[in-house]
């Protein structure tokens, strides 16, 4: 039976050792990039999260064969029989990242036929950068009902200037450019670790890609793309969630395979709070301070503070000493977790995309709703320290983004459980203690 509630009890300090799976945001685009190849590729360290299942379904719908071993986290994809270039609206609507098939479909078939992904709760999330820049490469777009038809008799190289270093637009253009004769440059490209992992994969396939300062990707097109074997880069966002779980519970955790070199600004902020971060042969360790200081931060493209860790980091600010100012600059509506944290007793004021958090002594468990993947993480973290019991619904966001994070946390001392509707008794679950009403 599908779980619908995450039940979290106030937990003791978390202690122990954990390890990371591959980054969901890297896996999704790498699966899409396999459209360029003909043959059997093997991806390792693949998280069994719902977004990954959805992207596998997208490739199957194009006639690729896929076998995913969830125990060994190994995904085998055979693209030999892949012969379609049309993705149904029902698959496209499950996940915005499915727009990433457009670049490789254009490269392989000269056309792509996809439904337009809608906006989502964290913002409008248009695809204008994708469309505008494919047009510069000679692609023609026609919208028919729900479908966007993209086609080109001859895709040509171009100097692509992104007005914002969009992760998805960089990846999409990159995957079309690797098969476009001549040299394409992407100026102001996104260089997130997940984009760099895609570049590693594309090079393994045979692509010619160079990266120049300050943020230019230069691609010289080739014609043959071999299948690949690749271990996906570890998930820095899962790492962030685990370190914050140790921080908020005043515990200590070591992540055996974390990449501290791709988490610099986030780790610096944890240290500024007073937590001790060490990197050793055993891994990346956070030893929490009992009295953390509030810190302010502003999200931005890599190597700035990741927008995907904004909500989880905010949960940690709710109980820190002092005032924290959090500015979300990447997405225009990514503070919806604030309302739920306020229900738990957090003191937060929001003005447009800026939140001011004044640390409190206690949070209180209650029924909360996750509105997006990273909001679900923030609420789970707050639930670990809140008095009593927190019950979180909107659980599909948690399972879209994380593979068994609740089990990992439980193994190091967290009291949390996924529950189905019939196991969950709302009469006894939510903690009903009074807490100060927010003004
Ligand atoms: C990816 C990540 C997501 C992360 C985000 C920023 C995946 C599957 N998702 O999303 O987890 O939060 O990067 O690091 O990798 N924009 C436009 N027009 C466009 C494209 C983007 O206006 O055509 C805007 C977006 O609305 C947003 C900003 O640019 O405000 C950044 O978006 P982008 O970097 O493209 O994010 P995604 O690739 O969608």
CATH code of residue 421: 3.65.10.10
**Mean pLDDT value of segment 223-250:** 98
Which has more confidence, 131 or 333? 131
> Rounded CA gap, 203 and 207, in Å?
5
> What is the residue-averaged pLDDT of the chain?
94
Indicate the pLDDT class of residue 436, thresholds 50, 70 and 90: very low
- Evaluate if residue 421 carries a pLDDT over 80: no
CA angle 45–24–325, rounded 5-degree value: 130
| 331 ligand 1 Cβ < 6 A | yes
Q: Which residue among 51, 117, 164, 376 is best mutated to probe the pocket of ligand 1, counting the most ligand atoms within 8 A of its Cβ? A: 164
Please indicate, yes or no, if residue 362 is contained in any of the structural domains: yes
Q: Are residues 130 and 136 in contact, defined by beta-carbon separation less than 8 angstroms?
A: no
Looking at the structure, do residues 97 and 110 belong to the same domain, yes or no? yes
> Which ligand 1 atom is the nearest neighbour of the CA of 129?
23
CB neighbour list of residue 346: distance below 8 Å, 6 or more residues apart: 318, 338, 357, 360, 363, 382
The pair of structure tokens assigned to 200 is: 């590693």
Q: Catalytic residue at 120? A: yes
**Mean pLDDT value of segment 91-106:** 92
Looking at the structure, do residues 255 and 336 belong to the same domain, yes or no? yes
Cα–Cα distances in angstroms (integers) from residue 66 to residues 31, 63, 157, 224, in the given order: 10, 9, 32, 22
Closest residue by Cα to atom 1, ligand 1, is 167
Indicate the pLDDT class of residue 435, thresholds 50, 70 and 90: very low
Please tell me which residue in 120, 211, 325, 429 is annotated as part of the active site: 120
Indicate the pLDDT class of residue 62, thresholds 50, 70 and 90: very high
Structurally, the chain folds into a number of domains equal to: 2
Q: What is the structure's pLDDT at 118? A: 59
Looking at the structure, do residues 11 and 107 belong to the same domain, yes or no? no
> Rounded CA gap, 104 and 169, in Å?
13
Q: What is the DSSP letter of 260?
A: G
Please indicate, yes or no, if residue 439 is contained in any of the structural domains: no
Identify the burial level of 83 via C-beta atoms within 10 angstroms of its C-beta, where 0-12 means exposed, 13-18 middle and 19 or more buried.
exposed
Last residue of a domain, one of 231, 247, 281: 231
Looking at the structure, do residues 209 and 270 belong to the same domain, yes or no? no
Closest residue by Cα to atom 8, ligand 1, is 25
Q: What is the structure's pLDDT at 422? A: 66
| 55 ligand 1 Cβ < 6 A | no
> Rounded CA gap, 242 and 165, in Å?
28
Pairing assessment for the beta strands 297-298 and 276-280 based on DSSP bridges: unpaired
Please indicate, yes or no, if residue 142 is contained in any of the structural domains: yes
Q: What is the structure's pLDDT at 427? A: 47
Closest residue by Cα to atom 25, ligand 1, is 125
| 119 ligand 1 Cβ < 6 A | no
Q: Which residue among 233, 306, 330 is best mutated to probe the pocket of ligand 1, counting the most ligand atoms within 8 A of its Cβ? A: 330
| 28 ligand 1 Cβ < 6 A | yes
Closest residue by Cα to atom 38, ligand 1, is 168
Q: What is the structure's pLDDT at 437? A: 34
- Evaluate if residue 25 carries a pLDDT over 50: yes
Please indicate, yes or no, if residue 110 is contained in any of the structural domains: yes
| 97 ligand 1 Cβ < 6 A | yes
Closest residue by Cα to atom 26, ligand 1, is 125
Looking at the structure, do residues 13 and 154 belong to the same domain, yes or no? no
Please indicate, yes or no, if residue 416 is contained in any of the structural domains: yes
Per residue in 298-356, pLDDT (tens digit) is: 999 999 999 999 999 999 999 999 999 999 999 988 999 999 999 999 999 999 999 99
Last residue of a domain, one of 164, 199, 231: 231
Q: Which domain holds residue 242?
A: 3-20+234-434
For residue 377, what is the enclosing H or E element? helix 373-385
pTM across the whole model: 0.95
Please indicate, yes or no, if residue 381 is contained in any of the structural domains: yes
- Evaluate if residue 280 carries a pLDDT over 50: yes
Looking at the structure, do residues 240 and 348 belong to the same domain, yes or no? yes
Please indicate, yes or no, if residue 59 is contained in any of the structural domains: yes
Last residue of a domain, one of 211, 231, 251: 231
Three-state DSSP class for 431? coil
Q: Are residues 99 and 168 in contact, defined by beta-carbon separation less than 8 angstroms?
A: yes
> Which ligand 1 atom is the nearest neighbour of the CA of 97?
8
| 167 ligand 1 Cβ < 6 A | yes
Among 38-42, 145-149, 327-331, 410-414, which stretch is predicted with the lowest mean pLDDT? 145-149
- Evaluate if residue 243 carries a pLDDT over 90: yes
Looking at the structure, do residues 160 and 274 belong to the same domain, yes or no? no
Looking at the structure, do residues 249 and 116 belong to the same domain, yes or no? no
Closest residue by Cα to atom 36, ligand 1, is 167
Q: What is the structure's pLDDT at 122? A: 62
Indicate the pLDDT class of residue 212, thresholds 50, 70 and 90: very high
Q: What is the structure's pLDDT at 423? A: 67
Indicate the pLDDT class of residue 433, thresholds 50, 70 and 90: very low
Looking at the structure, do residues 273 and 389 belong to the same domain, yes or no? yes
Q: Which residue among 99, 167, 402 is best mutated to probe the pocket of ligand 1, counting the most ligand atoms within 8 A of its Cβ? A: 167
Closest residue by Cα to atom 20, ligand 1, is 127
Please indicate, yes or no, if residue 304 is contained in any of the structural domains: yes
| 168 ligand 1 Cβ < 6 A | yes
How remote is the CA of residue 166 from the centroid of ligand 1, in Å?
5
Looking at the structure, do residues 397 and 328 belong to the same domain, yes or no? yes
How remote is the CA of residue 190 from the centroid of ligand 1, in Å?
10
Q: What is the structure's pLDDT at 335? A: 94
Looking at the structure, do residues 288 and 212 belong to the same domain, yes or no? no
Looking at the structure, do residues 208 and 338 belong to the same domain, yes or no? no
Q: What is the structure's pLDDT at 426? A: 53
């Amino acid at each position: 039976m599908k779980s619908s509630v995450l039940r979290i009890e106030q937990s003791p300090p978390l202690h122990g050792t954990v390890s990371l799976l591959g980054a969901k945001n890297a896996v999704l685009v790498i699966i899409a990039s396999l459209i360029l190849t003909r043959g059997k590729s093997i991806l390792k360290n693949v998280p069994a999260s719902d977004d990954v299942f959805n992207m596998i379904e997208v490739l199957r719908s194009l006639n690729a064969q896929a076998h995913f071993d969830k125990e060994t986290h190994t995904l085998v994809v055979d693209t030999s029989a892949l012969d379609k270039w049309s993705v149904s609206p029902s698959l496209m609507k499950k996940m915005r990242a499915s727009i990433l098939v457009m670049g490789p479909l254009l490269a392989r078939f000269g056309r792509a036929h996809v439904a337009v992904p809608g906006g989502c709760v964290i913002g409008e999330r248009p695809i204008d950068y994708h469309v505008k820049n494919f047009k510069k490469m000679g692609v023609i777009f026609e919208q028919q009902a729900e479908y966007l038809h993209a086609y080109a008799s001859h895709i040509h190289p171009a100097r692509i200037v992104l007005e914002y270093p969009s992760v998805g637009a960089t990846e999409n253009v990159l995957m079309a450019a690797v098969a476009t004769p001549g040299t394409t440059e992407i100026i102001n490209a996104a260089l997130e670790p997940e984009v760099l992992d895609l570049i590693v994969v594309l090079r393994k396939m045979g692509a010619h890609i160079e990266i120049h300062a300050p943020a230019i990707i230069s691609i010289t097109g080739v014609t043959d793309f071999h299948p690949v074997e690749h271990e996906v880069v570890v998930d820095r966002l899962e790492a962030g969630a685990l370190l914050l779980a140790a921080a908020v519970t005043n515990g200590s955790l070591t992540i055996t395979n974390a990449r501290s070199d791709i988490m610099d600004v986030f780790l610096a902020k944890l240290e500024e709070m007073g937590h001790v971060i060490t990197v050793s042969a055993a891994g990346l360790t956070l030893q929490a301070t009992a009295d953390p200081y509030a810190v302010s931060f502003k999200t931005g493209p890599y190597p700035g503070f990741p927008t995907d860790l904004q909500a989880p980091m905010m949960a940690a600010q709710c109980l820190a000493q002092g005032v924290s100012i959090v500015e979300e600059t990447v997405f225009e509506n990514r503070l919806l977790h604030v309302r739920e944290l306020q229900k738990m007793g957090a003191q937060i004021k929001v003005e447009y995309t800026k939140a001011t958090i004044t640390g409190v002594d206690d949070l209180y468990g209650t029924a909360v709703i996750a509105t997006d993947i990273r909001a679900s993480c923030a609420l789970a973290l707050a639930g670990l320290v809140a008095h009593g019991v927190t019950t979180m619904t909107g659980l599909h966001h948690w399972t879209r983004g994380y593979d068994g994070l609740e089990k990992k946390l439980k193994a190091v001392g967290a009291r949390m459980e996924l529950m189905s509707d019939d196991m969950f008794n709302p009469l006894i679950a939510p903690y009903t203690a009074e807490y100060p009403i927010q003004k």
